[in-house]
Structure 1
Amino acid sequence: MDTYNIITVLGPTACGKTSFAINLAAMLDAEIISADSRQVYRRMDLGTGKDLEDYTFQGTVVPYHLIDIVEPGYKYNVYEYQHDFLQAYNDIRKRGKRVVVCGGTGLYLESILRSYRLSPVPQNPTLRKELGGKSLSELTTILKGYKTLHNTTDIDTTQRAIRAIEIEEYYKQCPLENRPFPKLNSLTLGLGVDREIRRKRITARLKSRLERGMLDEIRNLLSEGVTAEDLMYYGLEYKYLTQHIIGQLSYEEMFNKLEIAIHQFAKRQMTWFRGMERRGTPINWITPPTLPISKEDLEKILAPYM
């Protein structure tokens, strides 16, 4: 175990990675650093699937980091994530604890696993005006033409696609500043789930979150002054539920479109992870074990990599 700086648990939505990571962290006396681009936002709980009540395993509270750190409406980015990740990582290691990274945001994961050097990207009003009239499909096609790193997994609104192109254009024109990121040796475990099982879980989870008040969560954010446009920027649940609340979609249309979008999102996540492997990140794919994990089962999972 000591040969690894971190253990990374990744996989598509609804594969059970959070429960597995919590179980793993509790048994290893580790703390979790989230790699989820939406869970950074406060009061966006059901829509992002935080399930914070689950961060206790058999009486052990598992500390977590980079969840609930910024206000809704803010546009958090991978540059900030790298900075915040390092702060959390150094703090955990100074206290003699192990680190488990858990998440499904491919760009965030790859930025730390491959030590990317990033710099903050300012807005480009001229470019935004140029792209303003284009459809999401047209913007996605433009984005695919760039050869540098960018996350296409979460691009399901025109706002996010325009921002992605803005970042790519900036990196094309401006050389990255010399901002080294430490090389971290990670044991990376990917949780693979049968596609049909994943589809059933996605549908069941969506119904459960709606029953638990996900629409009220969106209404509360709107009543706080977060704009509909800003909420829709975050995509998936926040896009379709907001469209329903402001009268653009019926409940049935919202549910059906969102269900399809989440399935497509899971597929894009898997495409990203396969791309990570091709770009040089080893991912050890395992079948999610039955929880809780016994000491013997944990040793079996980790033994091939020790």
Structure 2
Amino acid sequence: MKNEHTGDGTAAGAAFGKRMITILGPTASGKTDLAAHLAARLGAEIISADSRQVYRGMDIGTGKDLADYTVEGHTVPYHLIDICEPGTKYNLFRYQQDFLDCYEDIRNRGVLPILCGGTGLYIEAVLKGYSLSPVPQNPGLRKALEDKSLEELTAMLVELKAKNHSVMHNKTDVDSCQRAIRAIEIETYNLTKPTEERQCPPIDSLIIGVDIDREARRRKITSRLKARLEEGMIAEIGGLLKRGIPAEDLIYYGLEYKFVTEHLIGKLSYDEMFRQLEIAIHQFAKRQMTWFRGMERRGFTIHWVNAAQKMEDKVEEIMNLW
């Protein structure tokens, strides 16, 4: 989704060596709110790096929090939110293409882009300039794999990755059989049919990480989950099922969509759903931080700001770095 830009980000975008600001952090760290306040200060536009906020109608469960993009009455323009239909399979290759289209459009208008999100694979792919190829579905392979357990699929994926010398797939995101089968499909295709790769230039970006205390993060995750359930998350996901989106497609998206769907189809009681989902979100946040720390080991410089600081202090700290 794109809103009309009213600020002037030319100076901010052109006067400095870095071509973009990236704000990353785990779920519940407040990164979107920070990015919006920074964008309002700089006349910038935000490009989302969230693998689930691309889907229309999946609002509460993905935590779009669109109100965060309005700062002191000004709506900060944002991109790559609400760009495809639920039930479809968005992927890294499409994200890289969509990101580059947005990035080049924003830069060509003399405006500063701010990349913001928690999907580490998407962020690293565009910053480092991964070269990717589109991979079609393989119905025969999918049929052969449909009865295998997640453990069996994961073992197959590890073996294929070793043969391909592949580091492209985020193993921590393979948390369902569908995701594992798609990963195997990609690795199998690349093993047998190498294709011309899409060349994507790396992007020089100032990278800001939002560092939230682990206990504070756990408290915020739990309170936010309760709030989203009260705001109608179950009804939202029930509405998607009523629209004819298969339960297995919603389960594929993981986290809220997986556990609430399993509750709605009778696999989990409400209490079981809440308890298992709460644990899964905590585990997800931990995996996000593991990915970001891994980025540092892979050569990225991340400047961490304390999530507990006042908003104006965080913005000022980033301005001083910028």
The interval holding the TM-score normalised by the smaller chain is over 0.9
Query: 1:205-224 maps to which residues of 2 (within 5 A)?
Result: 205-224=224-243
SS of aligned partner of 1:293? helix
Amino acid at match of 1:73: G
Amino acid at match of 1:101: L
Asked if the contact 1:15–1:191 (Cα under 8 Å) also holds between the matched residues in 2, the reply is: yes
**Deviation of 1:228 (Å):** 0.7
Asked if the contact 1:26–1:60 (Cα under 8 Å) also holds between the matched residues in 2, the reply is: yes
SS of aligned partner of 2:147? coil
Which residue matches 2:282? 263
Partner Cα separation in structure 2 for residue 275 and residue 153 of structure 1: 12
Asked if the contact 1:39–1:50 (Cα under 8 Å) also holds between the matched residues in 2, the reply is: yes
Which residue matches 1:300? 317
Identify the range of structure 1 (24-33 vs 142-151) with the bigger mean alpha-carbon deviation: 142-151
2:199 to 155, 163, 180: 180
- Number of aligned residue pairs: give it: 303
Q: CA RMSD in A?
A: 1.7
- C-alpha offsets along residues 19-54 of structure 1, whole Å, 9 cap, x if unaligned? 111111111110000000000000000000001122
Amino acid at match of 1:158: C
Which residue matches 1:39? 53
**Deviation of 1:245 (Å):** 0.5
- For structure 2, the residue ranges without an aligned partner over 5 or more in a row are 1-14
Asked if the contact 2:54–2:82 (Cα under 8 Å) also holds between the matched residues in 1, the reply is: yes
Partner Cα separation in structure 2 for residue 202 and residue 302 of structure 1: 28
Which residue matches 2:209? 190
1:130 to 144, 152, 155: 144
TM-score w.r.t. the length of structure 2 is: 0.89
Partner Cα separation in structure 2 for residue 118 and residue 236 of structure 1: 27
Which residue matches 1:12? 26
Amino acid at match of 1:260: I
SS of aligned partner of 2:173? coil
SS of aligned partner of 1:134? coil
TM-score w.r.t. the length of structure 1 is: 0.94
Which residue matches 2:9? none
Asked if the contact 1:118–1:176 (Cα under 8 Å) also holds between the matched residues in 2, the reply is: no
- Seq. identity, %: 61
SS of aligned partner of 2:206? strand
SS of aligned partner of 1:93? helix
Partner Cα separation in structure 2 for residue 236 and residue 300 of structure 1: 33
Query: 1:91-240 maps to which residues of 2 (within 5 A)?
Result: 91-145=105-159, 146=161, 147-148=165-166, 149-240=168-259
Partner Cα separation in structure 1 for residue 187 and residue 289 of structure 2: 22
